[in-house]
A and B are shown apart, each in its own frame.
Chain A
Amino acid sequence: MLAINYRGPYRVRISEKPMPKILHPEDAIVRVTRSCICGSDLHLYHGMVPDTRVGSTFGHEFVGIVEEIGSLVTEIKVGDQVLVPFNIACGRCNFCKQGLFGNCHESNPMATAVGGIFGYSHTAGGFDGGQAEYVRVPYANVGPTVIPAGMDPDDAVLLTDVVPTGYQAAEMAGIKEGDTVVVFGAGPIGIMAARCAWFFGPSRVIIIDHIDYRLEFAKNYAKCEAYNFKSMKDPVVFMKKTTDWYGADVCIDCVGCEAVGNTLQTLTGRALVQAGSATALQWAINSVKKGGIVSIVGVYGPPFNYVPIGNVLNKGITIRANQASVKRLLPRLIDHVQSGRLKPSELITHRIPLEEAADAYRIFSSKLDNCIKTVLIPSTK
């Protein structure tokens, strides 16, 4: 079968790889019909995530058709069209039982801080991902969800990560009616977080980035205010000023470890003196009001980052963060999509054959051709 083959920072190619096999009675094999490149895949692509081994296949956002099931799989059957949450979750451990499907304790031998994730380095379990023709899906009774009849597969594929992560970012922010919400980052997750923030009743949603075409898209899609921080002398002062010198009620970091905008953060991040630059998180902490909430869904590497933790203490800030718990959120989000309140597929700007994955990564990474979201489609489908 064809699959992405990582060769080192900024280098991927498509190779023939062995077909995945059932390795556990609760496994399934899924024939991939659509697979997205996620903003967090770029951290792998750029060589930012430790233990990303040459030969790995990326891809944690995918939908497909069940091709084969293990002897103990009862919840899905061969031929079902399924969307597969990016978290690999057992459904039995204490974390899964409490709804923390992104923190499963039974899917990652290599690190205790993160649960298993498809195609996201050995730090996240060493699983091959869905940017391939076929993929092994462990715990097939828990994660894979049959796509409701009539749902656009382009909407379904974004329900595996982008929509739940954006929604949970807003949910964790504890938004109250009338609040001012500031979202850092106008990538797919930031745009979705800004759109989902409205479900919780704020009076203002502001999105900050430095790429004009994405800000324009966010303004229209998420019906929010959009500002380019490059046009500001100091984004934190701007945020204070625009909230009557009070600070935003909540700030959401949807950028993670490759933020720009602060030279010291960028230089130390690029030199891997810290786990990428934490500019967005620094701005979020310094822009939120005293007693405010900072919600983090931007991905950071496992080691260490420079953040103004003293200000967190002195301002009494609550920080809430997690990998999205996709399975917990799916029923609510499927309802939002089916009712037409959310149309995630509008984020997709590029549909590219799997065979051209190297170009697709470059387009997404360099933000060429006004790219917002890229979907890879295996040619045999």
Chain B
Amino acid sequence: MKNNIDFKNIPGWGMDADPENEPTYPMKNYTGDDHNRINYERASQQPINVEILQSTERPSPPVVFGTSVPPTGLSGKIRRYAFQHSEDRYRHWIPLILADRINMVEGVIDDLKNGYIPDVFAERGWKAEMKYNPKGVAIKVLAMATVCTLVWWSIKNKAKSKSFFNV
């Protein structure tokens, strides 16, 4: 409920105010403009030619924005859902993280569709890892080989015992 009281007539209003007490100075050079809210002079609006997802916490788009990678596909649908909710909500951020992971798979599919097989080895910078950390790479390869062998061995044994009981 709005209260139209003239706050300057409240007994003691402003009498202990200390203009030197500005904890954000010098990071912020307080001018009092904060009280004008968003009524400041803006530059002309960048034309909106791509889909921009906008925070629900602002009334209109900012003057400029990035135009890289507009939302597409399933990840885009999830992002559109996320932007129906404010930055305060889990239902904003968790879907965005989910969309990022789905987007990664979409990226691989797009590559394959375009006849490009992603060189994951190069993309992950393994050449540098092998050059500067050969011991670490050897340990990782050994660990991976051990895990693969164990998985293969357990699947093989499971199949064997199954066929034994079937007999």
Residues of A in contact with B (beta carbons under 8 Å apart): 7-13, 23-27, 47, 50-57, 72, 88, 90, 92-94, 97-100, 105-113, 116, 122-123, 125-128, 138-139, 168, 171-172, 272, 302-303, 318, 320, 322, 325, 358-363, 365-366, 368-369
Q: Is the CB of A107 within 8 A of B55?
A: no
A141–B49 CA distance with the chains assembled, in angstroms: 23
A100–B28 CA distance with the chains assembled, in angstroms: 6
Per CB-CB distance, the 7 closest pairs between chain A and chain B, nearest first, are A362-B125, A126-B66, A8-B104, A127-B66, A359-B128, A368-B132, A54-B107
Residues of B in contact with A (beta carbons under 8 Å apart): 23-24, 26-31, 33-34, 36-38, 40-44, 46-47, 52-55, 57-58, 61-69, 71, 75, 79, 82-83, 87, 90, 93, 96-97, 99-101, 103-104, 106-108, 118-120, 122-129, 132-133
Q: Is the CB of A125 within 8 A of B27?
A: no
Q: Is the CB of B107 within 8 A of A110?
A: no
Partner of A50, one of B64, B69, B96: B96
Q: Is the CB of A303 within 8 A of B100?
A: no
A139–B46 CA distance with the chains assembled, in angstroms: 11
Partner of B43, one of A90, A94, A123: A90
Query: Can you offer 23 A-B residue contacts whose CB atoms are under 8 A?
Result: A8-B107, A13-B122, A24-B64, A25-B44, A51-B82, A51-B100, A53-B69, A56-B68, A90-B43, A92-B42, A98-B31, A99-B29, A106-B42, A110-B54, A110-B83, A171-B27, A318-B23, A320-B24, A360-B128, A362-B128, A366-B132, A366-B133, A368-B129
| Contacting residues, chain B, for A107 (C-beta < 8 A) | 62-65
B144 vs chain A, min Cβ distance (A)? 15
A90–B40 CA distance with the chains assembled, in angstroms: 11
Partner of B69, one of A55, A105, A303, A360: A55
Q: Is the CB of A23 within 8 A of B47?
A: yes
